[in-house]
Amino acid sequence: MGQLSLDLRDGVAVITFSNPPLQVMTPSTMNELNRMLPQLRSDEVRAIVFTGSDATYFIRHFSVEELDENTRGGGGGWDRPMAEILYELEHLPKPFICALNGSAAGGGLEFALAADIRVAKDGPFRFGLPEVSVGILPGGGGTQRLTAIVGRGRALEMMLRPRLVSAQEMLQLGVFQEVVPADSPETALDRALVIAREIAGRPARAVAHIKRLVREAVSPVTMDMLKLEGRLFADLMQQPETQALLKGVADQHRAERGG
Protein backbone atom coordinates (compact mmCIF):
# COMPACT_ATOMS: atom_id res chain seq x y z
CA MET A 1 0.00 0.00 0.00
CA GLY A 2 1.36 3.43 -0.93
CA GLN A 3 1.94 6.40 1.32
CA LEU A 4 0.43 9.01 -1.02
CA SER A 5 -3.04 9.28 -2.48
CA LEU A 6 -4.11 11.81 -5.10
CA ASP A 7 -7.64 13.15 -5.45
CA LEU A 8 -8.39 15.66 -8.22
CA ARG A 9 -11.14 18.05 -7.11
CA ASP A 10 -12.24 20.62 -9.71
CA GLY A 11 -8.71 21.29 -10.88
CA VAL A 12 -7.12 21.03 -7.43
CA ALA A 13 -4.90 17.99 -6.88
CA VAL A 14 -5.14 17.00 -3.20
CA ILE A 15 -2.27 14.74 -2.16
CA THR A 16 -2.62 13.05 1.23
CA PHE A 17 0.32 11.49 3.07
CA SER A 18 -0.33 8.50 5.34
CA ASN A 19 2.25 6.24 6.95
CA PRO A 20 0.93 4.96 10.29
CA PRO A 21 1.66 4.54 13.05
CA LEU A 22 4.64 6.95 13.12
CA GLN A 23 3.64 9.18 10.17
CA VAL A 24 7.30 9.44 9.06
CA MET A 25 8.55 10.10 5.56
CA THR A 26 10.70 7.48 3.80
CA PRO A 27 12.40 7.16 0.40
CA SER A 28 9.17 5.48 -0.76
CA THR A 29 7.31 8.73 -0.06
CA MET A 30 9.51 10.65 -2.43
CA ASN A 31 9.54 7.88 -5.03
CA GLU A 32 5.73 7.97 -5.11
CA LEU A 33 5.75 11.74 -5.40
CA ASN A 34 8.27 11.52 -8.24
CA ARG A 35 5.92 9.19 -10.12
CA MET A 36 3.06 11.68 -9.61
CA LEU A 37 4.92 14.61 -11.16
CA PRO A 38 3.77 13.98 -14.78
CA GLN A 39 0.12 14.11 -13.68
CA LEU A 40 0.77 17.24 -11.61
CA ARG A 41 2.25 18.94 -14.68
CA SER A 42 -0.88 18.33 -16.74
CA ASP A 43 -3.21 21.19 -17.64
CA GLU A 44 -6.11 19.57 -15.74
CA VAL A 45 -4.27 20.39 -12.50
CA ARG A 46 -4.54 24.10 -11.70
CA ALA A 47 -3.31 23.94 -8.07
CA ILE A 48 -1.76 21.39 -5.70
CA VAL A 49 -2.56 20.89 -2.01
CA PHE A 50 -0.50 18.49 0.11
CA THR A 51 -1.69 17.38 3.55
CA GLY A 52 -1.34 14.60 6.10
CA SER A 53 -3.92 12.04 7.22
CA ASP A 54 -2.97 12.19 10.91
CA ALA A 55 -4.56 14.62 13.39
CA THR A 56 -1.30 15.02 15.31
CA TYR A 57 1.40 15.07 12.64
CA PHE A 58 1.62 16.53 9.14
CA ILE A 59 4.82 14.60 8.48
CA ARG A 60 6.51 13.78 11.76
CA HIS A 61 10.03 13.76 10.29
CA PHE A 62 12.16 11.60 8.01
CA SER A 63 12.42 7.96 9.11
CA VAL A 64 15.13 7.61 11.77
CA GLU A 65 15.25 3.88 11.02
CA GLU A 66 16.15 4.61 7.40
CA LEU A 67 18.87 7.04 8.47
CA ASP A 68 20.24 4.51 10.95
CA GLU A 69 20.35 1.81 8.26
CA ASN A 70 22.10 4.24 5.90
CA THR A 71 24.95 4.62 8.38
CA ARG A 72 25.36 0.82 8.17
CA GLY A 73 25.33 0.72 4.38
CA GLY A 74 21.65 -0.20 4.06
CA GLY A 75 18.49 1.82 3.73
CA GLY A 76 15.87 2.15 1.03
CA GLY A 77 16.57 3.15 -2.55
CA TRP A 78 15.79 6.53 -4.08
CA ASP A 79 14.56 6.90 -7.66
CA ARG A 80 15.91 10.47 -7.55
CA PRO A 81 17.40 12.63 -4.78
CA MET A 82 14.84 14.33 -2.53
CA ALA A 83 16.36 17.72 -3.39
CA GLU A 84 15.64 17.24 -7.10
CA ILE A 85 12.05 16.10 -6.58
CA LEU A 86 11.17 18.96 -4.22
CA TYR A 87 12.88 21.49 -6.50
CA GLU A 88 10.82 20.28 -9.45
CA LEU A 89 7.63 20.31 -7.39
CA GLU A 90 8.16 23.85 -6.08
CA HIS A 91 8.91 25.14 -9.59
CA LEU A 92 5.80 23.72 -11.26
CA PRO A 93 3.95 26.65 -12.94
CA LYS A 94 1.00 26.37 -10.56
CA PRO A 95 0.51 27.03 -6.84
CA PHE A 96 1.72 24.39 -4.39
CA ILE A 97 0.12 24.67 -0.95
CA CYS A 98 0.82 22.63 2.19
CA ALA A 99 -1.93 22.17 4.78
CA LEU A 100 -0.23 21.29 8.07
CA ASN A 101 -2.79 19.64 10.32
CA GLY A 102 -0.22 18.84 13.01
CA SER A 103 3.45 18.94 13.97
CA ALA A 104 6.26 18.77 11.44
CA ALA A 105 9.96 18.48 12.20
CA GLY A 106 13.06 17.69 10.21
CA GLY A 107 12.20 16.31 6.79
CA GLY A 108 8.51 16.96 7.39
CA LEU A 109 9.06 20.69 7.76
CA GLU A 110 11.60 20.67 4.94
CA PHE A 111 8.88 19.26 2.69
CA ALA A 112 6.50 22.06 3.66
CA LEU A 113 9.19 24.71 3.12
CA ALA A 114 9.19 23.83 -0.59
CA ALA A 115 5.56 24.97 -0.90
CA ASP A 116 4.45 28.38 -2.14
CA ILE A 117 1.93 28.80 0.67
CA ARG A 118 1.74 27.08 4.06
CA VAL A 119 -1.46 26.91 6.14
CA ALA A 120 -1.39 25.32 9.61
CA LYS A 121 -3.86 24.43 12.33
CA ASP A 122 -3.16 26.03 15.71
CA GLY A 123 -2.86 23.75 18.70
CA PRO A 124 -0.26 21.84 20.74
CA PHE A 125 1.90 21.38 17.66
CA ARG A 126 5.59 22.09 17.15
CA PHE A 127 7.73 22.81 14.10
CA GLY A 128 11.47 23.00 13.50
CA LEU A 129 14.65 21.51 12.11
CA PRO A 130 16.31 19.68 15.05
CA GLU A 131 18.72 17.51 13.02
CA VAL A 132 21.82 18.82 14.81
CA SER A 133 20.69 16.99 17.97
CA VAL A 134 21.53 13.66 16.26
CA GLY A 135 24.67 14.99 14.60
CA ILE A 136 23.32 15.68 11.13
CA LEU A 137 21.94 18.69 9.22
CA PRO A 138 18.69 19.34 7.36
CA GLY A 139 19.46 17.54 4.10
CA GLY A 140 16.22 18.15 2.22
CA GLY A 141 16.72 21.82 1.45
CA GLY A 142 15.98 23.12 4.94
CA THR A 143 19.18 25.12 5.43
CA GLN A 144 18.46 27.04 2.22
CA ARG A 145 14.70 27.46 2.27
CA LEU A 146 14.36 28.37 5.94
CA THR A 147 17.16 30.94 5.58
CA ALA A 148 15.45 32.46 2.53
CA ILE A 149 12.24 32.90 4.52
CA VAL A 150 13.37 34.00 8.00
CA GLY A 151 16.89 35.35 7.41
CA ARG A 152 20.33 34.02 8.28
CA GLY A 153 20.43 34.87 11.98
CA ARG A 154 17.03 33.45 12.86
CA ALA A 155 17.59 30.34 10.74
CA LEU A 156 20.92 29.63 12.44
CA GLU A 157 19.41 30.14 15.89
CA MET A 158 16.51 27.79 15.15
CA MET A 159 18.69 25.04 13.68
CA LEU A 160 21.71 25.22 16.00
CA ARG A 161 19.96 25.36 19.36
CA PRO A 162 17.71 23.61 18.02
CA ARG A 163 14.19 24.93 18.71
CA LEU A 164 10.73 23.55 18.02
CA VAL A 165 8.23 26.41 17.90
CA SER A 166 4.47 26.91 17.82
CA ALA A 167 2.30 27.59 14.79
CA GLN A 168 1.83 31.17 16.00
CA GLU A 169 5.59 31.79 16.09
CA MET A 170 5.93 30.28 12.62
CA LEU A 171 3.22 32.71 11.47
CA GLN A 172 5.11 35.66 13.01
CA LEU A 173 8.32 34.50 11.31
CA GLY A 174 6.58 34.38 7.93
CA VAL A 175 7.00 30.62 7.53
CA PHE A 176 3.24 30.10 7.72
CA GLN A 177 0.96 32.40 5.76
CA GLU A 178 -2.17 31.48 7.73
CA VAL A 179 -2.96 29.67 10.99
CA VAL A 180 -6.46 28.33 11.56
CA PRO A 181 -7.58 28.89 15.18
CA ALA A 182 -7.56 25.79 17.36
CA ASP A 183 -11.22 26.23 18.30
CA SER A 184 -12.38 26.66 14.70
CA PRO A 185 -14.21 23.75 13.03
CA GLU A 186 -12.23 24.63 9.89
CA THR A 187 -9.17 22.46 9.29
CA ALA A 188 -5.90 23.46 7.67
CA LEU A 189 -6.99 21.48 4.62
CA ASP A 190 -10.34 23.29 4.48
CA ARG A 191 -8.58 26.65 4.42
CA ALA A 192 -5.91 25.50 1.97
CA LEU A 193 -8.62 24.33 -0.43
CA VAL A 194 -10.33 27.72 -0.29
CA ILE A 195 -7.04 29.40 -1.23
CA ALA A 196 -6.22 26.81 -3.90
CA ARG A 197 -9.62 27.14 -5.56
CA GLU A 198 -9.35 30.92 -5.54
CA ILE A 199 -5.98 30.84 -7.30
CA ALA A 200 -7.08 28.02 -9.63
CA GLY A 201 -9.82 30.35 -10.85
CA ARG A 202 -7.30 32.96 -11.99
CA PRO A 203 -5.78 32.97 -15.50
CA ALA A 204 -3.29 30.09 -15.42
CA ARG A 205 -0.67 31.76 -17.61
CA ALA A 206 -0.60 34.87 -15.40
CA VAL A 207 -0.35 32.70 -12.27
CA ALA A 208 2.58 30.79 -13.80
CA HIS A 209 4.43 33.96 -14.82
CA ILE A 210 3.95 35.60 -11.40
CA LYS A 211 5.16 32.47 -9.61
CA ARG A 212 8.23 32.28 -11.84
CA LEU A 213 9.15 35.93 -11.28
CA VAL A 214 8.73 35.73 -7.51
CA ARG A 215 10.66 32.44 -7.30
CA GLU A 216 13.55 33.95 -9.29
CA ALA A 217 13.51 37.37 -7.61
CA VAL A 218 16.84 38.53 -6.20
CA SER A 219 18.01 41.32 -3.92
CA PRO A 220 19.12 43.90 -4.91
CA VAL A 221 16.83 44.12 -7.93
CA THR A 222 18.61 43.44 -11.23
CA MET A 223 17.92 44.85 -14.68
CA ASP A 224 17.85 41.30 -16.05
CA MET A 225 14.89 40.43 -13.84
CA LEU A 226 13.11 43.68 -14.69
CA LYS A 227 13.54 42.89 -18.39
CA LEU A 228 12.17 39.38 -17.84
CA GLU A 229 9.18 40.88 -16.03
CA GLY A 230 8.60 43.17 -18.99
CA ARG A 231 8.75 40.30 -21.48
CA LEU A 232 6.31 38.20 -19.48
CA PHE A 233 3.98 41.20 -19.11
CA ALA A 234 4.05 41.66 -22.89
CA ASP A 235 3.36 37.95 -23.37
CA LEU A 236 0.24 38.17 -21.21
CA MET A 237 -1.00 41.24 -23.08
CA GLN A 238 -1.11 39.13 -26.25
CA GLN A 239 -3.34 36.44 -24.74
CA PRO A 240 -7.02 36.39 -25.77
CA GLU A 241 -8.07 35.69 -22.17
CA THR A 242 -6.18 38.75 -20.94
CA GLN A 243 -7.57 40.93 -23.71
CA ALA A 244 -11.14 39.85 -22.91
CA LEU A 245 -10.69 40.51 -19.19
CA LEU A 246 -9.11 43.92 -19.78
CA LYS A 247 -11.84 44.91 -22.22
CA GLY A 248 -14.53 43.92 -19.71
CA VAL A 249 -13.08 46.15 -16.99
CA ALA A 250 -12.35 49.00 -19.43
CA ASP A 251 -15.91 48.90 -20.78
CA GLN A 252 -17.26 49.04 -17.23
CA HIS A 253 -15.14 52.11 -16.46
CA ARG A 254 -16.24 53.77 -19.71
CA ALA A 255 -19.87 53.16 -18.76
CA GLU A 256 -19.33 54.57 -15.27
CA ARG A 257 -18.03 57.85 -16.64
CA GLY A 258 -20.62 57.94 -19.39
CA GLY A 259 -18.12 57.56 -22.17
Residues assigned a catalytic role: 110, 131
Q: Delimit the domains of the chain by residue range.
A: 4-200, 204-256
3-class DSSP assignment, residue 188 = helix
DSSP assignment of 35-96, as one string?
HHHHHHHSTT--EEEEEES-SSEEE--B-HHHHHHHHTT-----SS-HHHHHHHHHTSSS-E
Structure confidence at residue 146 (pLDDT): 97
* CATH top-level class of 4-200: alpha beta
3-class DSSP assignment, residue 178 = strand
Residue-level pLDDT, tens digit, the chain, 259 residues = 799 999 999 999 999 999 999 999 999 999 999 999 999 999 999 999 999 999 999 999 999 888 888 776 666 688 999 999 999 999 999 999 999 999 999 999 999 999 999 999 999 999 999 999 999 999 999 999 999 999 999 999 999 999 999 999 999 999 999 999 999 999 999 999 999 999 999 999 999 999 999 999 999 999 999 999 999 999 999 999 999 999 999 999 999 988 5
pTM value is: 0.93
The CA distance from 166 to 171, in Å, is 9
**Beta bridge pairs of residue 165:** 127
